[in-house]
Amino acid sequence: MKTDNLYIDLFAGCGGLSLGLHNAGWNGLFAIEKSPDAFKTLEYNLINKKKHFDWPDWLPQKNHEINSVIETYEKELLSLRGKVSLIAGGPPCQGFSMAGRRNETDERNDLINSYIKFVEYVEPKIIFFENVKGFTMEFKKNKEKGIAYSSVVTQKLESLGYYVKGKLVNFGEYGVPQKRTRFILIGIRNDIENTSQEVVDNFFLSLEAASFSFLKKKGLSKNVNLQDAISDLLKSNGTVQSPDTNSFHAGIYGHQQSSYQKYMRKSIRYQIADSHRFPKHLQLTTDRFKAILELSSDRRNLDLSKDIRNRYNLKKHTIIPLCANSKSPTITTLPDDYIHYSEPRILTVREYARIQSFPDWYEFKGKYTTGGKKRTQEVPRYTQIGNAIPPLFAEQAGIILRNLLNE
């Protein structure tokens, strides 16, 4: 087992955080992810392709539910004390999310206690915790009424012996072409030499200060917009039969038009982008999208106006015509929430991935999308990406975490 910069990724999803930590020089021990679809994506890219994880023999290399791991492998987890430098990840956030209906009784909210129990067993030197913006809001009904969700977690981690600091961070300020604000929490065990609350507090200052030079070295900019991110993926570039679903068409690459596109396509030698399958819209839908784009020319990146909704009798909760020259709003797990900025269609999975800063070599597995009751059980490609931490931000965070560890 490697012992330098060793980490465990909890609620790993399709691997956005792990990819960033990999690029920042961290060594993965294993990742816990409940969804078989999301784990297939992580396994294909980071386990099989990159050989990133030094997976222990005692844990089957497959998707796992965290409470099952805690109950089944307590002895093995306790034996990792002193060997793991970092536990990273963010429990599912649906109960806290402001994008849907907030539900304090959502059983997924309790997975935060599972995260804390895992920390208690393994006792990592550093904790990196991510969750939605709504995580900083107060309870309204539970026994903690009037206390922010984030404060409860902070208190529990402090009681385990960690200096803790949490802050809302906009990933768009770190070179990601998306305005995506998330709650980030850092903890360092307070029995480690030279550790103090000030060291933890300085994480966010260091992260912000280093971002410009980090992006400059990669030829990237903080101000990358949606057009910079996906203009080489237009349907007008041409289509071919989709490699993984024969009844659909997929897009071919256009010319690289920005440094961001060049960075995302680094080492790509083929002409068909992975998961760049176009939806089969009805002609009525295409015509409606075209009209909406024209009518919303002065109202991009905003939900449809009441006038447009009434004109087309639209009942859907969110429909946002995107703006080419701005960062995307926070993308959700529902691709039909957005209309492409210049083509009358929703975004493809690959365009979603670009907006989340996944490089084009990173391939996505499982269904493209799902609906109905299956939506609560399956994690298709759009959902995997919508739930992910952008790797470009995760890499920057990983570098600062390594610096903290070395100091």
The single residue of 69, 93, 99, 392 carrying the catalytic annotation is 93
Does residue 265 lie in a domain region? yes
Q: What is the pLDDT of residue 102?
A: 42
Q: What is the pLDDT of residue 356?
A: 98
Does residue 67 lie in a domain region? yes
Q: 345 and 210, same structural domain? A: no
Q: 356 and 299, same structural domain? A: yes
Q: What is the pLDDT of residue 149?
A: 79
Matching residue, tokens 């965070």? 397
Q: 320 and 202, same structural domain? A: no
Residues across the chain: 407
Structure tokens at 71: 């109950």
CATH number at residue 28: 3.40.50.150
Q: 394 and 371, same structural domain? A: no
Average pLDDT value over all residues in the chain: 92
Does residue 32 lie in a domain region? yes
Q: 196 and 49, same structural domain? A: yes
Q: 212 and 261, same structural domain? A: no
Q: What is the pLDDT of residue 138?
A: 62
Tell me the pLDDT tens digit for each residue of 91-112.
885 544 444 444 444 444 578 8
Q: What is the pLDDT of residue 146?
A: 55
Does residue 44 lie in a domain region? yes
Does residue 1 lie in a domain region? no
Does residue 318 lie in a domain region? yes
Total Cβ atoms within 10 A of residue 125: 20
What's the predicted TM-score (pTM) here?
0.93
Does residue 123 lie in a domain region? yes
Q: 296 and 183, same structural domain? A: no
Q: How far apart are CA 380 and CA 365, in angstroms?
A: 8
Q: What is the pLDDT of residue 97?
A: 43
Q: What is the pLDDT of residue 95?
A: 47
Structure tokens at 325: 């020259």
Q: 327 and 260, same structural domain? A: yes
Q: 276 and 197, same structural domain? A: no
Tell me which residues of the chain have a pLDDT lower than 70. Answer: 1-3, 93-109, 138-146
SS (H, E, C) the chain: CCCCCEEEEECCCCCHHHHHHHHCCCEEEEEECCCHHHHHHHHHHHHHHCCCECCCCCCCCCCCCHHHHHHHCHHHHHCCCCCCCEEEECCCCCCCCCCCCCCCCCHHHHHHHHHHHHHHHHCCCEEEEEEEHHHHCECCCCCCCCCEHHHHHHHHHHHCCEEEEEEEEEHHHHCCCEECEEEEEEEEECCCCCCCHHHHHHHHHHHHHHHHHHHHHCCCCCCCCHHHHHHHHCHHHCEEECCCCCCCEEEECCCCCCHHHHHHCCCCCCCEEEEEECCCCCHHHHHHHHHHHHHCCCCCCCCCCHHHHHHHCCCCCCCEECCCCCCEECCCCCHHHEECCCCCCCCCHHHHHHHCCCCCCCCCCCCCCCCHHHHHCCCCHHHHHHCCCCHHHHHHHHHHHHHHHHC
- If we measure between CA atoms, which residue out of 219, 2, 241, 11 comes closest to residue 108? 11
Respond yes or no: is residue 93 known to be catalytic. Answer: yes
**Residue 72 one-letter amino acid:** T
- If we measure between CA atoms, which residue out of 231, 176, 188 comes closest to residue 357? 176
Our count of domains for the chain comes to 2
Q: 262 and 366, same structural domain? A: yes
Q: 214 and 257, same structural domain? A: no
Q: How far apart are CA 295 and CA 389, in angstroms?
A: 33
Strands laid side by side in the 239-241 sheet: 239-241, 249-252, 272-277
Structure tokens at 41: 């994506």
Domain containing 325 equals 226-386
- If we measure between CA atoms, which residue out of 233, 157, 261 comes closest to residue 200? 157
Q: 191 and 301, same structural domain? A: no
Does residue 306 lie in a domain region? yes
